[in-house]
Amino acid sequence: MSNEHPIIDDPELGVLARATTELSDGTVLTHDWYAGTATVDGAELELMLEGTTVDEARALIPRVRETLSALASLRRLATDAVVTAFSPGSPEPAELDAAASDLTLETIEASEDGTIVLHLTDTCGAHFPEGYWPAVHLGRDGQITQVTVES
């Protein structure tokens, strides 16, 4: 831990530290978010909280906790939203069920404006090309506001 970038040790979310990336030449890039992991139902989820200071990131912790507590229903809503957004017509129940098992939640990203983004991974490679993943954006009210594909 450095004084420049202290960590957050949250009793529910664990340790959140300022995210960094080390390049091959040894240069360290410091990102504008804090990162950590949470274990939910035996799976590790990456957490990303926007902020360059402990106070900015800490302000997002309640929103992340709310999201984690609602994951049981949010996961299915998110996968259904992805299928609906990218289907030419109304998706069949079998398509929704397949996506619910094939698309898994990998990352929860919290932004200072209150937006939560659920980043999903296509575990079977049948729904999205390699290197692309769907993301479901939730507004402050917890409702889905947008579905995107990111790379």
- C-alpha pair distances (Å), 123 with each of 36, 50, 98, 99: 22, 27, 11, 10
Q: Average pLDDT for consecutive 10-residue bins of the chain (151 residues)? A: 81 96 96 96 95 97 96 96 95 96 97 97 93 96 96 95
- Residue of 78, 90, 87 whose CA lies nearest to 120: 78
pLDDT tens, residue by residue, 18-28: 999 999 999 99
Residue located via tokens 């949470």: 38
Q: What is the pLDDT of residue 5?
A: 87
CB atoms within 10 A of CB 89: 6
In sequence order, the β-bridge partners of residue 30 are 20
Contact status, residue 47 vs residue 60, Cβ threshold 8 Å: no
- C-alpha pair distances (Å), 18 with each of 13, 15, 46, 107: 14, 10, 13, 16
Secondary structure, 3-state, 3-51 = CCCCCEEECCCEEEEEEEEECCCCCEEEEEEEEEEEEECCEEEEEEEEC
Query: Residue 83: which region, alpha, beta or left (left: phi > 0; alpha: psi -120 to 50)?
Result: alpha
- Please state whether the predicted TM-score (pTM) of the whole model is above 0.75: yes
Strands 144-150 and 43-50: unpaired
Q: What is the pLDDT of residue 3?
A: 62
Give the whole-angstrom CA distance, residue 34 versus residue 65.
15
